[in-house]
Structure 1
Amino acid sequence: MLKEERLQKIIEQIAQDNKVVLDDLSRLLNVSTDTVRRDIKELSDKGLLKAVRGGAIIGSPVHPHFKERQHIDTHHKKVIAQKALEFIKPGQVIILNGGTTTTAVIAALPRDINLTVVTNSFPVVSILEDYPHVTVFFIGGELNKHAYSTTGHETIEAIRNFRADVCLMGICSIDLKLGLTGFTYQESLVDRAMIETSKYVIALSTYDKIGASDPYYVCAANAIDVIVTEKDPSTTDLSGFKEAGILIK
């Protein structure tokens, strides 16, 4: 199969399934995974898709709405939520951003836990209304109707009034060299403020976001203490992150 035919086939597959996997493409195209990886990089450089660890996803200029994202990778998010719970202890001050993964963690909390939660996420606040021993500080600002969260100068200034024990950060992407990056400028500024005001930072990330990047810088990779993913840490090739002192769960 000619290279141009391979590239077209990859584009067709990603248009059909919204994502492609290296091993699957290798079998489909009857070429090595290294060849497929180079093809994906070329298409990614042209903006026709977005390369991620193990394959690629559809390269959309529009980040999916919260309502759409809450139905994507639900099983993986539940696994991540259960892993993240081990870092949450009674009496802590927890700060967290908007997103479907952080919402999944909050939904998994024991109903009788005693916490202080600081957030800019409407869905998180909605869940915590029924938790009798959780004190909630909702950070106001400009409403992002797409993400059901607040952003802006007022949001960032309010965040700086807190000193959190743990930051639970739902992320868009993290790369060892490029750092933690976000899809929108305003949300990235809010995420940075949350990280800067926290003693311990936990990035909640499905595996395909690791090794990927987005347009807006949040922080260096080594500003993160833990990456929680749905994968078994013993089966993942994340040695670079481990060497940088980041715990993989």
Structure 2
Amino acid sequence: MRGTERRARLLEALGLGEIDVDDLARRFGVSASTVRRDLQHLSDTKAVRRTYGGAILAAAAPETTLDQRLAINGPEKQAIGRAALALIADGETLILDAGSTVTAFGRLLFDRRLRIITNNLALLPCLAQAPRIDLVVLGGNLRATSMSTVGPLAIESLQRMTADRAVMSADGVVAGRGLCEASLDQVALKSAMIAQSRETIVLANAGKLGRAEQMAWAPLPRRWTLVTDAAVPPDQHQCFAEAGAGLVVAGA
């Protein structure tokens, strides 16, 4: 069992309240010291909090608003957006997720010839004026913190369409686990976006890699593309390659 898979299963076990290191070692067929190293790795990424003899899942971090996220790491998000532009061809159909990095990317598409399907309400004032963009807006329940729509109406309408690429964001991206978000509504829609697209592109600055601070997860397909910035740690390259990601580093 690879380390990324083992740590994902370890998190699932912790979610059920299982913290006995020796029992987990026997279940996974590894030594107790390997389980302790896995727990330390998860602690370093803030996914768990170490306790005497084991660990517990970390509490979910409070969700920031879209305006707060837009004000953070602005140059990195612009660089990631520009790098992602090279992956898009005119005439394609894109699904654009909500999120500040996807918003930064979407604003760069103004002069492109595309069909865009999105739940990202923050992009509408820009894309509605774009002369060569055919814009489809997903309805549903409003999430004011992310200025997006979610829920059954968004999923049902999305399932009637397909796209060349889904361009995704997340609160955290963990190799072998997927996209981490604050609510089940978000990950249900993200999973539908991935299912309806031929290719998945995830835009995430290096600070989001390995973060598992929220409770809801959307698994990623076997092959996908991660676009990040130059601060990505070297050890993350190997982790994401093993998880099926093609890595694009902005500015590299």
TM band (smaller chain): 0.7 to 0.9
Q: Could you list the per-position Cα deviations for residues 83-109 of structure 1 after superposition, in whole angstroms to 9, with x for gaps in the alignment?
A: 100111110000011111111001122
- Are the aligned partners of 2:119 and 2:149 in contact in 1 as well (CA < 8 Å)? yes
Q: The residue matched to 1:193 in structure 2 has which SS? A: helix
Q: Give the Cα separation in 1 of the matches to 2:210 and 2:79.
A: 20
- Following superposition of structure 1 onto structure 2, how do residues 92-107 of structure 1 map, counting pairs within 5 Å? 92-107=92-107
Deviation beyond 6 Å, 4+ runs, structure 1: none
Q: The residue matched to 1:87 in structure 2 has which SS? A: coil
CA RMSD, 1 decimal: 2.7
Q: The residue matched to 2:199 in structure 1 has which SS? A: strand
User: Residue 207 of structure 2 aligns with which residue?
Assistant: 208
Q: Give the Cα separation in 2 of the matches to 1:91 and 1:225.
A: 21
User: Residue 198 of structure 1 aligns with which residue?
Assistant: 197
Deviation at 1:216, TM superposition (A): 0.8
- Are the aligned partners of 1:142 and 1:150 in contact in 2 as well (CA < 8 Å)? yes
- Following superposition of structure 1 onto structure 2, how do residues 158-177 of structure 1 map, counting pairs within 5 Å? 158-177=157-176
- Unpaired runs of 5+ in structure 1? 1-33, 48-58
Q: How many positions carry a matched residue from both structures?
A: 202
User: Residue 62 of structure 1 aligns with which residue?
Assistant: 62
Deviation at 1:66, TM superposition (A): 0.8
Deviation at 1:148, TM superposition (A): 0.6
Indicate the structure whose relative CO is greater, using CA pairs within 8 Å and at least 6 residues apart: 2
Q: The residue matched to 2:179 in structure 1 has which SS? A: strand
Q: Give the Cα separation in 2 of the matches to 1:101 and 1:201.
A: 15
Q: Give the Cα separation in 1 of the matches to 2:46 and 2:204.
A: 24
- Unpaired runs of 5+ in structure 2? 1-36, 51-58
Q: Give the Cα separation in 1 of the matches to 2:186 and 2:104.
A: 19
1:195–1:39 CA distance, 2 compared to 1 (3 A): closer
Asked if 1:128 is matched to 2:127, the reply is yes
- Are the aligned partners of 1:168 and 1:202 in contact in 2 as well (CA < 8 Å)? yes
What amino acid is aligned across from residue 104 of structure 1 in structure 2? A
Give the TM-score of the pair, scaled to structure 1. Answer: 0.73
Deviation at 1:73, TM superposition (A): 0.7
**Greater Cα offset, 211-220 or 132-141:** 211-220
1:38–1:143 CA distance, 2 compared to 1 (3 A): closer
- Are the aligned partners of 1:203 and 1:224 in contact in 2 as well (CA < 8 Å)? no
1:89–1:184 CA distance, 2 compared to 1 (3 A): same
Give the TM-score of the pair, scaled to structure 2. Answer: 0.72
Q: Give the Cα separation in 2 of the matches to 1:121 and 1:181.
A: 18
Aligned-residue identity in percent: 24
